[in-house]
Chain A
């Protein structure tokens, strides 16, 4: 279709009708929007759900951040305790502690017997 074939008169008429219709206030009725009401409602609900979901997501992310902080704190405590326990595990430290406490328990003098 060439440029000349366009029905300019019809287009101008339609625009004029639309403007006049807006002016008259019956544009929505002219477009028969009432038929689309369920879809408009559906779109509105979708919008509302989207906002609600993003709010909930934010809440969940806040909870994640709080949990992350708790985990970090626990990690720190874990690292401290692991280090403390490891330092108590030193064999010569244990031997020294046993001597100081007057214990008769000594380091083994032979490997443990194994029952087959």
Chain B
């Protein structure tokens, strides 16, 4: 028994020892593992090559901001970004691999070339730019080239294709095998698109990215000068690879959120711009002497610029938007400036529109002028008089009348006249939302050395002063606005995702440049010009226009003048003209003020403001009037509608039927009833049946005609 117990105890001890060994082994292992973990976490530094292979992939991605759009004041897209794709092909793709495969290389290379042939065919059909042989020849030439340079092996297939075309190209043979087998390389570019093509092209503008010519402006129009708003800010995002080999945003890394560009809402109305552009092209640019013309249309109440057309001739003789003359080409405005002179006279002196002055044959003898005013001579002849009213002088745009008035009233204090012109903001370039290189330069005679004989008298008729078309239209807009001079503006607001971020609006340049009475008198005078004066082209416009014509000779440069001493004429008796029509409409409740200025090249003929500029103006007025529901006829008259009969419409398909009573029916019901009764119908008029012959109830032969009158 004792022996057995010993044996049992011995077994137990042996088992216990084995377990002890195992336990000790595991204990040692765990100590080693824990020690190793501590070492790896604290002291060990892995080899960087190995580390990069074991760590999950991570990459920094720069996120390009979406560039903002430019909108018109109704939210229509004027400029926007649309992605375009350039397609390249790495023609040497897998070439080296096939060359190294001695067993199947040649066969694989042949297969590749067959696919390239199919690709060439697809490209020729899809793009239609070249034939399939052209594509194949280029691909193979590049593939066989020994140059290792990227530029040599990459073949530019096409540039600037849209998304759909790019996807179709991707699906072509060879390319569908991906970048590393097919060699397809696609680069995406954000191209700026102008849905309305060249409409308002110079105002909307662009950036000359590759311009190195310092004489040329790099940032043109809104696109160029508000690029800092449109562009937005680039963002940075870190991305990491997931277990499923997809890339996701790595939120553990620092990222810079992208700031998309803001949209710019302008005051332009693209429909008005289109009307103006079309009218200008039809009436002004057809004249070979015209080298350029511009048009500005402003909203009277706010000063918002609704259209700004600038057409000038390029070297090929084609017209396009190349320079913003409306803000960039100051010149002597000519007779349109007489409005400022008359306004000053009405406000400062006793002169009224009915004031009579002697005509004196159109010559100011006391000034030693020998130049006769032909308009006065004609006036004297036609009216058999030697006196002329201020209004008539304004209507016929007489230089003599205005020179005489200014001399008589301001000879003693010429500064007073110039001071008034300064109040009209004609002597300074006010800040406009966009600028044009070489622009500005508006000026009035220097107050410190005014000579009444030249500066004062000349400026009264629009010479010896320099004004841009925008400044002239701003002055006329003030008259239309009852004397309140609004600052013209082009930018309505900056917007982000349709929400207004920054709002701009109307601002006042001068709350009252003249009294309300003077503004009304000026409107009367300007209405007379279009009714009976030099602006007669506008007489039968669809709404009444108050406006003024202006024809100014342009001072020539020394080079243009040659040997001539007269600054306005060259040796060959050629001149340059600046012809303007400016006004507002409807004259009684003005909504728009507009100016059209045309510039001629050196030529012998003349161009008057009352000619093509006035014709274009008329077309603009007529079209704007026809499209604006503000001027719609409101139909308020009441009319009685004939009482309709209720009940079934009588028909008589089976056998003969009496003539149905269709009085009070509409045409469709009446026709249905008559023809189903077996009769024919003849009708006159519109509305409901008020008369029918023969009377209802009688029976006639089938096929007889029933006459009905609708009203």
Are A83 and B626 interface neighbours, CB within 8 A? no
Are A92 and B274 interface neighbours, CB within 8 A? yes
Are B80 and A111 interface neighbours, CB within 8 A? no
Partner of B626 from the list A22, A25, A61, A110 (CB cut-off 8 Å) is: A110
B502 sits at the interface (CB 8 A)? no
B621 sits at the interface (CB 8 A)? no
Are A115 and B76 interface neighbours, CB within 8 A? no
Partner of A83 from the list B195, B248, B249, B635 (CB cut-off 8 Å) is: B195
Question: Which A residues lie within 8 Å of B213 (CB)?
Answer: none
Task: With A107-B626, A110-B626, A111-B628 as known contacts, state yes or no: A61 contacts B636, CB within 8 Å.
Answer: no
- Residues 575-628 of B at the A interface (beta carbon under 8 Å): 623, 625-628
Are A114 and B635 interface neighbours, CB within 8 A? yes
Are B633 and A111 interface neighbours, CB within 8 A? yes
Question: Which A residues lie within 8 Å of B632 (CB)?
Answer: 111-114
- Residues 79-97 of B at the A interface (beta carbon under 8 Å): 80-83
B672 sits at the interface (CB 8 A)? no
Are B196 and A87 interface neighbours, CB within 8 A? yes
Q: Bound complex: CA of A22 vs CA of B199, how far in Å?
A: 90
Q: Bound complex: CA of A115 vs CA of B637, how far in Å?
A: 9
Are B629 and A111 interface neighbours, CB within 8 A? yes
B23 sits at the interface (CB 8 A)? yes
Stretch of A6-14, A36-44, A74-82, A97-105 that contacts chain B: A74-82
- Residues 234-257 of B at the A interface (beta carbon under 8 Å): 242-244, 246-249
- Residues 32-81 of A at the B interface (beta carbon under 8 Å): 55, 58, 61-62, 64-65, 73, 76-77, 79-80
Interface residues on A, range: 20 to 34
Residue of B whose beta carbon sits closest to that of A91:
B274
Question: Which A residues lie within 8 Å of B623 (CB)?
Answer: 107
Are A110 and B248 interface neighbours, CB within 8 A? no
Give the interface SS of chain B, mostly helix, strand, loop or mixed.
mixed
A5 sits at the interface (CB 8 A)? no
Q: Bound complex: CA of A80 vs CA of B195, how far in Å?
A: 10
Are B244 and A62 interface neighbours, CB within 8 A? yes
Question: Which B residues lie within 8 Å of A107 (CB)?
Answer: 623, 626-627
Residue of B whose beta carbon sits closest to that of A112:
B632
Are B77 and A90 interface neighbours, CB within 8 A? no
Q: Bound complex: CA of A23 vs CA of B270, how far in Å?
A: 91
B287 sits at the interface (CB 8 A)? no
Are B249 and A111 interface neighbours, CB within 8 A? no
Are A83 and B82 interface neighbours, CB within 8 A? yes
Are B271 and A113 interface neighbours, CB within 8 A? no
Interface residues as binary, B256-286 with A (CB distance below 8 Å gives 1, 0 otherwise): 0000000000000011001101100000000
Residue of B whose beta carbon sits closest to that of A25:
B23
A-B interface contact total, Cβ < 8 Å: 96
- Residues 283-308 of B at the A interface (beta carbon under 8 Å): none
Are B163 and A76 interface neighbours, CB within 8 A? yes
Q: Bound complex: CA of A87 vs CA of B196, how far in Å?
A: 5
Are A116 and B243 interface neighbours, CB within 8 A? no
Q: Bound complex: CA of A25 vs CA of B629, how far in Å?
A: 98
Are A83 and B193 interface neighbours, CB within 8 A? yes
Are A113 and B635 interface neighbours, CB within 8 A? yes
Interface residues as binary, B454-489 with A (CB distance below 8 Å gives 1, 0 otherwise): 000000000000000000000000000000000000
Question: Which B residues lie within 8 Å of A62 (CB)?
Answer: 242, 244, 246, 248
Question: Which B residues lie within 8 Å of A110 (CB)?
Answer: 542, 625-626, 633
Are A83 and B77 interface neighbours, CB within 8 A? yes
B644 sits at the interface (CB 8 A)? no
Task: With A22-B27, A62-B242, A114-B633 as known contacts, state yes or no: A86 contacts B248, CB within 8 Å.
Answer: no
Question: Which A residues lie within 8 Å of B631 (CB)?
Answer: 111
Q: Bound complex: CA of A65 vs CA of B76, how far in Å?
A: 32
Q: Bound complex: CA of A63 vs CA of B182, how far in Å?
A: 28
Interface residues as binary, B11-53 with A (CB distance below 8 Å gives 1, 0 otherwise): 0000000000001000100000000000000000000000000
Residue of B whose beta carbon sits closest to that of A72:
B83
Residue of B whose beta carbon sits closest to that of A62:
B246
B634 sits at the interface (CB 8 A)? yes
A2 sits at the interface (CB 8 A)? no
Question: Which B residues lie within 8 Å of A80 (CB)?
Answer: 82, 162-164
Q: Bound complex: CA of A23 vs CA of B26, how far in Å?
A: 11
- Residues 488-503 of B at the A interface (beta carbon under 8 Å): none
Are B625 and A111 interface neighbours, CB within 8 A? yes
Question: Which A residues lie within 8 Å of B243 (CB)?
Answer: 55, 58
Q: Which residues of B contact A (CB under 8 A)?
A: 23, 27, 76-77, 80-83, 162-164, 193, 195-197, 199, 242-244, 246-249, 270-271, 274-275, 277-278, 542, 623, 625-636
> Could you list 8 A-B pairs, sorted by A, with CB under 8 Å?
A65-B248, A65-B249, A79-B81, A86-B196, A90-B274, A92-B274, A111-B629, A113-B634
Q: Which residues of A contact B (CB under 8 A)?
A: 22-23, 25, 55, 58, 61-62, 64-65, 73, 76-77, 79-80, 82-84, 86-87, 89-92, 107-116
A65-B248, A90-B270 known; 12 other A-B pairs, CB under 8 Å? Answer: A62-B244, A62-B246, A73-B163, A83-B195, A86-B77, A87-B196, A89-B195, A90-B196, A90-B197, A112-B629, A114-B629, A114-B634
